[in-house]
């Protein structure tokens, strides 16, 4: 079934990012900007510099991913010995101690999901830049997944916090968050902003252009 679709942009209309009012896009030239007639915010038909901004953010997030995984996430001291664990050595520790459920949660939330998000965002960026018209609907779904899944990455920080609380309660050892925690939290936030700065309508703009 073929449905005639018309986008706001094709109709000469623009949707306000903040209050979602649909209004006619005024004729503007050069440095001029259009403002929303209702709330006064600057109007854009698409998020400005979406592709470049998303690239910059996703690359920054990937740089933060390195110290988040290489540096210690937890520093444990017991009976005079100190042990620093990275995310991966923590996962291995949990497997060896029989808590494979915790190992799985930590691995999925802190190693697998952030990596998957990078891959999805980069794939979406490249598909728009190379003007792909393949499966735009599936790519929109992928975009939605990055938003839905991202907030769960912070689970790892909670796991570390709970772990610290548990160990402190046991009085046997002392455990503290390592330097990787701050890199990890920053990486998660930057990845969320990167996904937010990508404008999924660009996927459909390419499809529209090819059909005209
Ligand atoms: Zn508005």
Render pLDDT for 40-92 as a digit per residue (tens, 0 to 9). Answer: 999 988 998 999 999 999 999 999 999 999 999 888 887 778 888 888 988 88
Residue 2: pLDDT above 60?
no
Token representation of residue 153: 């990455």
127 and 41 assigned to the same domain: no
For residues 99 and 203, membership in a common domain is answered with yes
Give the tokens for residue 20.
Answer: 């979602």
SS3 category, 106:
helix
**142 with 181, same domain?**
yes
pLDDT above 70 covers a percentage of the chain that reads: 87
* pLDDT tens digits, one per residue of 103-134: 888 888 888 989 999 999 999 999 999 999 89
Its domain, for residue 111, covers: 47-211
- What does the alpha-carbon distance between residue 42 and residue 21 come to, in Å, rounded to a whole number? 12
Same domain membership, residue 115 and residue 96: yes
Q: Average pLDDT in the 125-153 region?
A: 88
- Which of 115, 137, 131, 99 lies closest to 184, judged by CA? 115
Q: What spacing in Å lies between the alpha carbon of 21 and ligand 1's midpoint?
A: 6
Report how far ligand 1's centroid is from the alpha carbon of 101 (Å).
47
Co-location of 172 and 79 in the same domain: yes
**Number of separate domains in the chain:** 2
**12 in the same domain as 61:** no
Task: Write out the residues surrounding ion ligand 1, Cβ under 5 A.
Answer: 16, 18-19, 21, 36, 38-39
Residues 2 and 85 grouped into a single domain? no
Query: What are the angstrom distances between the C-alpha of 19 and each of 29, 31, 42, 193?
Result: 24, 24, 11, 20
């Amino acid at each position: 079934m073929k449905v005639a679709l018309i986008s706001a942009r094709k109709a000469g209309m623009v949707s306000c990012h903040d209050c979602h009012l649909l209004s006619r896009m005024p004729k503007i030239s050069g440095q001029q900007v259009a403002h929303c007639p209702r709330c006064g915010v600057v109007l854009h038909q698409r998020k400005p510099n979406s592709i470049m901004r998303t690239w910059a953010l996703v690359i920054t997030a990937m740089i933060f991913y390195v110290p988040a995984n290489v540096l210690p996430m937890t520093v444990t001291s017991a009976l005079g010995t100190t042990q620093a664990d990275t995310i991966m050595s923590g996962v291995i520790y949990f497997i060896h101690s029989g808590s494979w459920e915790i190992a799985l949660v930590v691995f999925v939330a802190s190693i697998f999901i952030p990596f998957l998000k990078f891959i999805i965002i980069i794939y979406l960026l490249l598909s728009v830049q190379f003007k792909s018209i393949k499966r735009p609907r599936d790519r929109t779904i992928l975009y939605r997944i990055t938003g839905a899944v991202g907030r769960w990455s912070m689970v790892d920080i909670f796991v570390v916090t709970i772990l610290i609380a548990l160990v402190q309660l046991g009085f046997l050892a002392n455990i503290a968050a390592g330097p990787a925690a701050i890199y990890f939290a920053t990486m998660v936030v930057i990845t969320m902003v990167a996904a937010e700065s990508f404008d999924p309508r660009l996927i459909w703009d390419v499809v529209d252009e090819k059909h005209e």
